[in-house]
Amino acid sequence: MPLSVRLDSKTAALVNSMAKRRRQSKSAVIRDAIGVLAAQGKESEKKLAKKVRPYDLVKHLIGCVSSGSGDLSTRTGDKFYKMLVAEKGKRK
């Protein structure tokens, strides 16, 4: 299938020199390069699929500690205020 690609002079010179060195047509060099790039992309996708999330590293720890109280999120402002007053009393 015909395809037209515009290359800058540096890239065109590189393709020409590779074609001469490999004794291939410029089209063959470009096809090979695209094949290599596609293979690298597949390898990158495999690595991303195997990537470990931070959650996976600590999921065995989640929920394993008891805080002793089930109402830690209620009236936190009051509890914090009382804690500050207690600390201030200790400093005197």
Q: What is the pLDDT of residue 92?
A: 65
Asked whether residue 83 carries a pLDDT value surpassing 80, the answer given is yes
DSSP letters for 10-38: HHHHHHHHHHHHHT--HHHHHHHHHHHHH
Which of 46, 4, 41 has its CA nearest to residue 26?
Answer: 4
**Chain segment 12-28, per-residue pLDDT in tens:** 999 999 999 999 999 99
Average confidence score pLDDT of the chain: 86
Contact 1, 27 (CB under 8 A): no
Q: What is the pTM of this model?
A: 0.47
